[in-house]
A and B are shown apart, each in its own frame.
Chain A
Amino acid sequence: MDTLTFTTAPRRARDPHTVPVTLCGEDLHVDRPKDSVLFFAQQIVADTVSDADRALAVLSFLESTLKPSDRKRYFDRVMNRVDPVGLEATLDLVAGLFARWTDWPIDGQVEPLIITAAASTPTGAPLTVVNEDLGLRFTAHQPKDVVLTFVSAAVATGVGLGQQAWAIAFFLDSALEPGDALLLAQRMRRADDDLDLGEVDEIVRALIQRWAPTGNRATRRAEQRHEGHGEAGAQRGAHGQQRARRQPVRREQRSRRA
C-alpha cells in the first residue's frame, strides 16, 4: 500500500495582531490565535448550535488564545465570587476580539478593547451536601454564572474524561471552601478511598441543577440591570429567598462498600 507523506512546516511568522485588552480593570495583551482556533470559534456566533456547544466553543477559544499566565489569571478571577469577570464579560471579550481580528486596520492601530462589568456576586444561599455512606459533609456556595455555564456544558456534551475531570475540579474550586475542595481532591486520588470521580460527578450535577442559569443572554442582562432596583429587583430577591429555604442536597449514593 502506498503511503503519502506530509511534514508540517514550522509555524508561519506573521503579525500577531495583538489586541490590548482591559478586562474589568486588568490589562492584558491577546495575540491572534491560529486560523483553526478562529474557525472552530465560529460556533460561538452560529445560530444552529446548542448553548452547551457554544459554551464549549468559548472555553476552547479562551484556552487556545490566552497566554498561559493570562489564562490562569482569567480562571482565577472567574472562580472568585466577588470579581466582576463573569459570563457577560467573557462573551464581550470573545466578541470584541473577534470583531477586531476580522476587521484588522491596515495601519495596525487597533482600538483597545475595554470591558467593564459590575460585580454580581451569586445570590443563591449556600447548600449543605451530605453523603453519610462516603463520609461527606460540606457547604457549597453558588459559583458565578460563567462557571455554571462552562461546567454544565462539559458535563452535558459528553466531552472526554480528561476535560470532564477538569470541569469538575474547576467547579469544586469555585463552589467549595478551599479546605473542602482540597480534601475532596486528595480523597479522590487515594486508592483506598471509595470516593471517586463518579460520586463527585453526581454531586456536581445535582448542584448545577439547583443553580443552572436560566433565560438567554438578553434576559440575564435585564436581570442584572434590575438587580437591587425597583420592583423587579425585589421580586427577584424574594425568589432568591424562596430558593434559599430549599432542603440541603442529600445524595442517596450507594457506596461500593454497601
Chain B
Amino acid sequence: MIGGVLGLPPAGPTRFTLDDRVFELSVLDARTWVEALVLEAPGCWWRLIPLHLDGCGAEVVYQRLLDPEDGLDLDDLEQVAERVLGYACGVDFHLARNLAVSVYGNWLAFDGWCVGAGFSPLTEPIGRLLAAALAWRRSLCTTESEARALEAELSAVPVRTASGRPREATVGQWTAEQEERMFLGALETLGRRGNR
C-alpha cells in the first residue's frame, strides 16, 4: 500500500491562509502541474506557489521573503507549498512529484497505456492523472519485490530543504510498518546485488 494518500482533492481552487492573509491557488491544467512538478526543487513548488497564486499573491510572498524583519523564509514557504500542493493533488507532495517525474520521462509508454484504458491524462485534473500514473506503475510490477521497490521509489523525499539544510527527521510519521517495508526492500536490493 502506497502511503501519502490524503483523500479527495478539492473540487475548485485551493485556499489557504498564511499569517491571516488568504491566498488562493486557482485550478490548473494537468500539463502545468506536471511541467512544474518535474523541476528540481525548489522549482517544483515555486512554479506553482507562489507563481500561480491568484491576484497579487506572488508579489506579497516575494516581498515577505526579502523582508529582513519578516520571519517567513524559504524553508517555511517550502513547507507551506508542499502541504497545499499535496492537498490540491490529493496525495503527499513528494509522491505526486515522483509520479510526475516517472510519467514525464516515459510519456509515450504512459500515454499509450492510458489510450488502452480509455483515459486522456492531460485533459483530467492532476489528481486523476496521478492516480492513473500510480495504476500504470503498479501494472508494471510482476513480483512483490518489484512492488516494494516501487513503493520505496515513490515515497522518496529529498534529503535537503530548498535552503540546503538537511530535512528534519519526521519521527512522528515513521511507523513500524514503514520501517518493516523499508527493511524488506533493502534486503531485497542487497539480495539482488549478491546474486549478480
- Interface: A34 (CB within 8 A): yes
CB closest residue in chain B, given A39: B74
A7's nearest neighbour on chain B, judged by CB, is B19
> Are B18's CB and A8's CB within 8 A?
yes
Cβ-based interface call for B76 (8 A): yes
**Given A33-B68, A36-B66, A37-B66, A4 contacting B74 (CB threshold 8 A):** no
Whether B58 sits at the interface, judged by CB under 8 Å, is no
Cβ of A191 under 8 Å from chain B: no
Bound-state CA distance A63–B16 (Å) is 30
Docked CA distance A2–B90 (Å): 13
- The answer to whether B163 touches A35 (Cβ under 8 A) is yes
Chain A residues whose C-beta falls within 8 Å of the C-beta of B80 in the assembled complex: 6
- Select one of A1, A3, A8, A39 contacting B19, CB under 8 A: A8
Alpha-carbon distance A220/B100, docked complex (angstroms): 47
Given contacts A5-B17, A8-B72, A9-B76, whether A36 and B83 have CB atoms under 8 Å apart is: no
Chain B residues 17-32 with CB under 8 Å of chain A are: 17-19, 22
Give, as a whole number of angstroms, the nearest-CB distance from B22 to chain A. 7
A8 to B19, CA, bound (A): 6
B10 is an interface residue with CB less than 8 A from chain A: yes
* Beta-carbon contact of A36 and B16 below 8 Å: no
Find out whether the CB atom of B73 lies under 8 angstroms from the CB atom of A4: no
A4-35, CB < 8 A from B: 4-12, 33-35
For A102, the closest partner residue in chain B by CB is B164
Question: A23 to nearest B CB, angstroms?
Answer: 19
Q: Are B71 and A8 in contact (CB under 8 A)?
A: yes
A6 in contact with B19 given A34-B65, A64-B68 (CB within 8 Å): yes
The residue in A4, A9, A12, A65 that gathers the most chain B C-beta atoms within 10 A of its C-beta is A4
Is the Cβ of B18 less than 8 Å from the Cβ of A6?
A: yes
A60:B73 contact, CB within 8 angstroms = no
Q: Please name all residues of chain B whose beta carbon is closer than 8 Å to the beta carbon of A63 when the two chains form the complex.
A: 66
**A11 x B19 contact (CB < 8 A):** no
Q: How many angstroms from the CA of A206 to the CA of B19 in the assembled complex?
A: 44
How far does the Cβ of A61 sit from chain B's closest Cβ, in whole Å?
9
Which A residues are closer than 8 A to B by beta carbons? 1-12, 33-40, 60, 63-65
Residues of B in contact with A (beta carbons under 8 Å apart):
10, 12-19, 22, 42, 65-68, 70-77, 79-80, 83-84, 87, 162-163
**A5-B16, A12-B73, A34-B68 given; 8 more Cβ-contact pairs under 8 Å:** A2-B87, A3-B17, A4-B83, A6-B83, A33-B68, A36-B72, A38-B163, A39-B163
15 contacts between A and B (CB under 8 A): A3-B15, A4-B14, A6-B18, A6-B79, A6-B83, A7-B18, A8-B71, A8-B76, A9-B76, A11-B73, A34-B68, A36-B65, A37-B65, A37-B68, A64-B68
